[in-house]
Amino acid sequence: MSHLTDLELIAAIEDAADRLPAARRRHLDACESCRGRADDLRGVIVAAADAAVPEPSPLFWQHFSARVRQGIDGSAPGESAHHGRLAAWLTQASLRWGAFAALIVVVMVAGVWQVNAPSKHTSSQAAAERAAEWRRTHPLPDPAEPNDLDADPAWAVVRTVADSVDWSDAVVAGIDAQPDAVETVARTLSPEERSELVKLLLAEAKRKGA
């Protein structure tokens, strides 16, 4: 007959041997190996039971009750019946780290979305509104006819300077515009503004020794 299983041994050492089937009890009585294993386990229980916990001083218990009282001060009993379960769930180390990682991901995704996603009031809409406002407050001089612009000697200076600038240098310098953008903007300038721009460009050209 086979030896006692682990669970049968537990039953045997816990005074529950009478719950074992008769055949198993007979085996236990007859089998030296099983009796030896059962005696070993009983010996471990006795050794463990003898290892008492050092008793703290009586003063400790007074302090302990005071500490607990202080810990629950201001809170109502049972106030975290639901929160408590959540807290217990979150305090499991692996889950806490998981929740923390998930929080980081959520924050990152939210950040990226905030930066990239079009807002309800998009930047292009806002720009269009600002442009419209600008147009209302700064009425254009009679739309400059292309011919008028070309005939403007000041604008000729601007064009000359612009022609000498390498496009890649302009991009590196942070000037990144669509083709014809400069002309489009120049048409919106008043003659005084255009004249001021020319002065600035000439001064800059002199400073660089151009």
For another protein, the closer of residues 69 and 207 by Cβ is 69
Query: Which position has the token pair 């590196």?
Result: 172
Q: How far is the CB of 69 from another protein (least distance, A)?
A: 7
Q: How far is the CB of 41 from another protein (least distance, A)?
A: 5
For another protein, the closer of residues 9 and 149 by Cβ is 9
Q: How far is the CB of 97 from another protein (least distance, A)?
A: 11
CB-based contact 194:154 (threshold 8 Å):
yes
- Tokens in use for 5? 């299983």
For another protein, the closer of residues 37 and 194 by Cβ is 37
Q: How far is the CB of 91 from another protein (least distance, A)?
A: 5
**Cβ-based neighbour number of residue 150 at 10 Å:** 12
Dihedral over alpha carbons 52, 56, 57, 62 (to 10 degrees): -130
Question: 180's torsion region: left (phi>0), alpha (psi -120 to 50) or beta?
Answer: left
Q: How far is the CB of 96 from another protein (least distance, A)?
A: 9
Q: How many residues does the chain have?
A: 210
For another protein, the closer of residues 57 and 137 by Cβ is 57
For another protein, the closer of residues 4 and 149 by Cβ is 4
CB-based contact 187:143 (threshold 8 Å):
yes
For another protein, the closer of residues 6 and 180 by Cβ is 6
**Cβ-based neighbour number of residue 66 at 10 Å:** 10
Q: How far is the CB of 68 from another protein (least distance, A)?
A: 5
* Residues within the interface to another protein (CB under 8 A): 6-7, 9-10, 40-41, 43-45, 47-58, 60-61, 64-65, 67-69, 71-72, 75-81, 83-85, 88, 91-94
**Sign of torsion over alpha carbons 90, 95, 100, 105:** negative
With a CB cutoff of 8 Å and minimum separation 6, the contacts of 115 are none
